[in-house]
Amino acid sequence: MGSPLRLTLGDVDGTALAGGPPVWAGVVDSFEVSEQAMSRFRDTSELTELNRMAGTGRLTRPSARLRRALVASDRAHRITDGRFDPRVLADLDRLGYTGAALPSAAPGIAAGSRILDRRGRRDVALARPVDLGGIGKGLALRWAAAELERAGVTRFLLEAGGDLVTRGMDRSDGPWLIGLEDPKEDRDHLAVIAVADQAVATSSVSVHRWAIKGRAVHHLLDPRTGEPATGGLLSVTVAGPDPAWAEVWSKVLFIAGLADIAQEARSRGLAAWWVADDGTLEMTADARRGTVWVASEDDPSIDTQSRQGR
């Protein structure tokens, strides 16, 4: 999934299983299964094979992980009134963020159309190819965390490329302390938040951005336009009970843009932090309660200002 993995155990001695495979190997194996099911970059993944049949009406029976990911994406699409929509793969390819080769793009997305055509309990078909990048990583974290819990590990932080899930306390018997990166790269962190038994996901333009024909673009597309979202934001972070849904809401809030993000996040009771184009940090009241440190102009270690949102 193009993301480095890191597992931190909250046990002082770092013990793993009493018998059985080491917990780290279990995490890596779980992510490999998820990668093979959901990657749009692998030529041999299940998702690539399904995307190549998109628009043909042909039914297939995917693995449990791919089927759950597609069902979750379809549900997120409905709950967010279409603002989360993984059917932007053709636009990502058009803009240069290419994955495995696919047939020519299908016609435009019809308003109100469903992502997934389900026939019975297991057989599915797609009208258009999908990209399960963000929600797929969130689901992979959910499933790997479940593997750790089944192995008897109760205190851990599992991170995949900046998105993470925590269980229990850290080694000091306190909540896990997480730094929010500065997308402008003017300083190491904009804030530090405390989380326990929660997931954190960030949608940001700091990593996947490039130029095409002299135009700066990024991978966070607005499904209404098929173009990179231009709402005045650099990053959005959401904390919640599940990593997949934290991913969904961070993307939806990013697309909402600076003008609407505060009302959207508060109306849904989300703990959300966002960074505007000018580098200022804002947050909801729920997020403020979980924030233990914010960079400020009187901190001698930084040279640019950040403020808490109201």
Measured in whole angstroms, how far is the alpha carbon of residue 222 from the centre of its chain?
A: 15
Of 167, 151, 135, 156, whose CA–CA distance to 245 is shortest? 135
**Residue 11 pLDDT level (bands cut at 50, 70, 90):** confident
Q: How far apart are CA 15 and CA 12, in angstroms?
A: 8
Answer whether residue 196 is part of any domain: yes
**Tokens at 129, concatenated:** 């190819």
**Per-residue model confidence (pLDDT) at position 302:** 35
| Residue 241: strand pairing partners | none
Answer whether residue 135 is part of any domain: no
Answer whether residue 112 is part of any domain: no
Answer whether residue 92 is part of any domain: no
**Residue 103 pLDDT level (bands cut at 50, 70, 90):** confident
Answer whether residue 1 is part of any domain: no
Q: How far apart are CA 24 and CA 22, in angstroms?
A: 6
Structural domain range at position 244: 161-294
Under 8 Å CB-to-CB from 16, ≥6 apart: which residues?
22, 23, 24, 151, 153
State the CATH number of the domain containing residue 271. 3.10.520.10
**Residue 20 pLDDT level (bands cut at 50, 70, 90):** very low
Least confident of 103-112, 154-163, 193-202: 103-112
Q: How far apart are CA 198 and CA 220, in angstroms?
A: 24
Alpha-carbon dihedral 45, 48, 49, 52, rounded to 10 degrees: -170
269: exposed, middle or buried (C-beta count within 10 Å: 0-12, 13-18, 19+)?
Answer: exposed
Answer whether residue 154 is part of any domain: no
Does residue 272 contact residue 252 with C-beta atoms inside 8 Å?
no
Q: Is the pLDDT confidence value at 306 over 70?
A: no
What is the chain's mean pLDDT, rounded? 89
Q: Strand 163-167 relative to strand 176-181: parallel, antiparallel, unpaired?
A: unpaired
Output 307-310 pairs: Cβ under 8 A, ≥24 positions apart: 307/280, 307/281, 307/282, 308/281, 308/282, 308/283, 309/262, 309/274, 309/281, 309/282, 309/283, 309/284, 310/282
Does residue 233 contact residue 258 with C-beta atoms inside 8 Å?
yes
Q: What is the DSSP string of 186-204?
A: SSSEEEEEEESS-EEEEEE
Does residue 193 contact residue 180 with C-beta atoms inside 8 Å?
yes
pLDDT tens figures, 269-281: 999 999 999 999 9
pTM more than 0.75: yes
Domains contained in the chain, number? 1
Of 29, 24, 34, whose CA–CA distance to 142 is shortest? 34
**Residue 16 pLDDT level (bands cut at 50, 70, 90):** very low
pLDDT tens figures, 23-80: 899 999 999 999 999 999 999 999 999 999 998 889 999 999 999 999 999 999 999 9
Answer whether residue 167 is part of any domain: yes
Phi and psi at residue 125, in whole multiples of 5°?
-145, 155
Answer whether residue 290 is part of any domain: yes
Q: How far apart are CA 296 and CA 275, in angstroms?
A: 14
